[in-house]
Amino acid sequence: MKALILSDIHSNFIALEAIWARERGADAVYCAGDLVDYGAYPREVLDWIRAHNVVCVQGNHDRQVAETFHESALWHITDSALQWRHHNARRLTAEDANFLLSLPEAVTFDLDGIRYGMTHLYRNYELILSRHAYRSFCQTRFPNHEIDRLILGHTHRQGIMTLGEREVWLNPGSASYRRMDDPDQEAHYIVIEDGIISLRSVPYDCSVVYHEVMQQRLAVDELRVMQWFFGPRD
């Protein structure tokens, strides 16, 4: 059994395609949230997610974009005030917005006899650093389930934290972009095969993404962030 674990795709269809080109042999795909926002291809990403029957949880950006879709002022905002959530919401259909709103906060599933719990975030950008915090969080988020491994997204920081024999959490990192202290521009994800966790990344053509995002009419600050995420590295 090979499972592909994604998170924080953020409307970056180019990166998603690069991951799938390498991992298309996966038997199942899971995503720890933030399918949309901060990228130019929300519809393409959502179409791919549904076409591949990806098991998803709702990220904070998924809810924000879906709620923005229903705001009466959405189409009256000037270009100089547009944020990415407005940009993405304007490109959704009602079906897309409802799909995002329908995503669960948490799911559980079994892979190779191991019970996983998946949710988008722990608490803000904090990390789970003790067994007590792990157990307390899992009891709250996954009542009536014994979780062997916890999958989180949100921080965009790929890694595995082993706290005990049955207290392990993992984060696939972002399929799209890093935080401002990490200049890596590859797409990050995880593969779990026969119970073995593999942290992986794949390069993709950031110049295509950079060209597309910089063509959008948005607030200057929103585009400036994109220059760092996807622009050329000197």
Average pLDDT, the chain: 97
Nearest to 154 by CA among 140, 169, 142, 134: 169
Q: What confidence tier does 233 reach under pLDDT thresholds 50, 70, 90?
A: confident
Is the confidence at residue 183, as pLDDT, over 80? yes
Mean per-residue pLDDT, 170-196: 96
Q: Is the pLDDT of residue 234 over 80?
A: no
Give pLDDT, residue 111. Answer: 97
| Per-residue model confidence as pLDDT tens digits over 46-84 | 999 999 999 999 999 999 999 999 999 999 999 999 999
For 13-40, the pLDDT digits (tens) are: 999 999 999 999 999 999 999 999 999 9
- CATH no., domain 2-230: 3.60.21.10
Confidence band for 166, pLDDT divided at 50, 70 and 90: confident
Per-residue pLDDT band for 133 (boundaries 50, 70, 90) equals very high
Q: What is the pLDDT of residues 135-161, one digit of tens each?
A: 999 999 999 899 999 999 999 999 999
Global pTM? 0.97
Domain range summary for the chain, segments of one domain joined by +: 2-230
Provide long-range contacts, Cβ within 8 A and 24+ apart, for 108-112.
Answer: 108/142, 108/145, 108/147, 109/30, 109/55, 111/1, 111/3, 111/28, 111/192, 111/195, 112/1, 112/192, 112/194, 112/195
* pLDDT surpassing 80 at residue 43: yes
Average pLDDT over residues 205-229: 96
Is residue 121 predicted with pLDDT exceeding 80?
Answer: yes
